Amino acid sequence: MRWGVLRAVASLAAVSCWAATDFSLIDAVKRRDVKTADALLAQRVNVNAALPDGATALSWAVFLDLPDLAGKLIQAGANVNTAGEYGETPLTLALANGDVALAGKLLKAGADPKATRWNGETTLMIAAGTGSVEEVKLLLGAGVDVNGAEPRRGQNALMWAAAEGHPDVVDVLIKQGARVGAATKSGFTPLAFAVMKNDAASVKRIIQAGADPNYALPGQAAPEKASPDEPPPDQAFPGQALPDKDGTPMLTVAGSYKSFAAEIALLEGGANPNFTDHTGLTPLHVAAEAGAVDLVKELVAKGANLNARTYKASGPKSKFAQYFVNLRLSGEVTPLLLATKADHVDVMHVLIEAGADPGLKAQDGTTLLLAAAGSGHVDAARYAYQFDKDVKAVDDSGRTAMHMSMTGTAQIEQPVLTELVQYLADIGVPMDELDKRGRTPIQVGDGVPIDQPIQRMADIIVNRGGTPRHFPKEYVKPGPKAEK
């Protein structure tokens, strides 16, 4: 149920019953006491008595989904166009409940199909948002404007249907003349709402009807929600790709909302797979980092640049990028590096087999093996090592693959990290080097703390005949069968 209805209901519930003489019928309906309501109707009480907020017995009967009682009230002469303080009429309440039969009765009794809520939301918007094709057809048959929009934000029925993921309603509205190019005051179109909902069927239908799959939201557009369940959010777009001051294309919107099915539909409809945002990110970067392997395959098939690199980073590296290896902030990052850092081995396979260059480094010197070590998982490291044998590589902060395994991986289970540490040691990654801050991998792990992997590091160093520059704070002397 829409938030506007809930506000009206809250107002209804908040009003106490006043004098029994005036509001006894309303009281009975609110209690769902049909027997008493029938008796009061037989006594010819005033069926149009209204509470201070405008609510009547018919309003309550419709809201409480009592269609038989509502029908009796209509027959007794109840005003079908009475409106509460938020503009809710019996018709808007019936539509919000999805009761097409009762909505039809109200229209036959003279309910105004063009009535709007206090904020201008139309009956057709309400019906479209609920997903009722029958209600939509009923209202269109009653002469409602298919392109009618509420005045505050400029949203219309097609946008609401798309935002709620109702492709059948989208189809009906388009067939009846809904404009797919209509936009809200902030630039959101039906296509944008369908993309955010990840409704691939609606995306396809809207593009088929003439919408531009490369449409870009205006620069710095604030996020907008088609009103169905709650007011529009104040927070920024999810995902780092939005908003873009130069405009945000639909593929970027889809990637930001993880609307991968919608993104495939956009590509099939002709969206450009190689556009870049203001940081140089392409749709392939976003899909690869998210592990959306089917989308990655579609992008590859549509000609996405496998070796696209983000723009060079300017100025000193931020602490966030330096200490937590956020590759997006490193500059000149490829989709393969992002997939590797995120431990999406299946995506790594797709990209390399399609021709991605495993030898490309990020601006900060991050190699494929370094990124794999930063994933915290041995499978990514094993696959990366097939193409990158430089086990002594360091980035511009002096970090080895062993350092990387301890950086930004605290959320990974320690046995998993310990397995990675052992593998890196086995292929010859240096165990005890200092980075440019003078820290060994053991010290980096100790600061998290990550005790099991750094215990393994110390065990390996000791059993190879060495002495760690710094022992773990909670070091336990290894037994005779410790790993070498």
- Asked if residue 88 is part of any domain, the answer here is yes
Q: Does residue 207 share a domain with residue 262?
A: yes
Q: Please report the pLDDT score of residue 376 as a whole number.
A: 96
| DSSP 8-state assignment for residue 224 | -
Instruction: Examine the domain organization and report whether 215 and 307 are in the same domain.
Output: no
- 426 and 315 within one domain: no
Rounded Cα distance, 170 and 179, in Å: 11
Q: Is residue 171 part of a domain?
A: yes
Task: Return the bridge partners of 216, or none.
Answer: 249
Q: How far apart are CA 109 and CA 21, in angstroms?
A: 27
The answer to whether position 123 is within a domain reads no
Q: Is 106 helix (H, G, I), strand (E, B) or coil?
A: helix
- Residue type for position 186: S
In a shared domain, residues 48 and 90:
yes
Cα gap 45→51, rounded to integer Å? 15
| pLDDT in the model for residue 172 | 98
DSSP one-letter string for 375-416: HT-HHHHHHHHTT---TT---TT---HHHHHTSS-TTS-HHH
Residue 418 lies in a domain: yes
What are phi and psi for residue 249, nearest 5 degrees? -65, 160
Q: Which of 316, 349, 382 is the last residue of a domain?
A: 349
* Whether residues 262 and 282 fall in one domain: no
Return the pLDDT at 448: 87
Share of the chain above pLDDT 90, in %: 77
What is the pLDDT, as a whole number, of residue 149?
Answer: 96
pLDDT at 325: 53
161 part of a folded domain: yes
**Residue 44: inside a domain, yes or no?**
yes
What pLDDT shows up at residue 57?
95
Q: Are residues 25 and 110 in the same domain?
A: yes
Is there a single domain that holds both residue 200 and residue 282?
no
Query: Which residues of the chain are under the pLDDT cut of 50?
Result: 1-21, 228-243, 318-321, 324, 482
pLDDT of residue 16: 40
Residues 262, 161 within the same domain: yes
Question: Three-class SS of residue 216?
Answer: strand
Q: Give the pLDDT of residue 480.
A: 56
137 contacts: CB under 8 Å, gap ≥ 6: 172
Going by C-alpha positions, the residue among 348, 356, 334, 350 that lies closest to residue 380 is: 348
Q: For residue 172, give the H/E element and its range.
A: helix 167-175
**447: domain range?**
367-484
Domain boundary among 322, 349, 376: 349
Evaluate whether residue 255 is within a structural domain.
yes
Residue 210 lies in a domain: yes
C-alpha–C-alpha distance, residues 101 and 138, integer Å: 10
Same domain, 4 and 113: yes
- Nearest one of 232, 240, 264, 236 to 250, comparing CA atoms: 264
Q: Do 162 and 104 belong together in one domain?
A: no
249 and 308 share one domain: no
Bridge partner list, 149? 156
Residue-level pLDDT at 227: 54
Q: Domain tally for the chain?
A: 4
How far is the C-alpha of 7 from the C-alpha of 117, rounded, in Å?
Answer: 12
Residue 378 and residue 323 in one domain: no
Helices (H) and strands (E) in the chain, counts: 26, 2
The whole-angstrom separation of Cα 205 and Cα 170 is 8
The predicted pLDDT at position 25 comes to: 95
CATH number at residue 393: 1.25.40.20
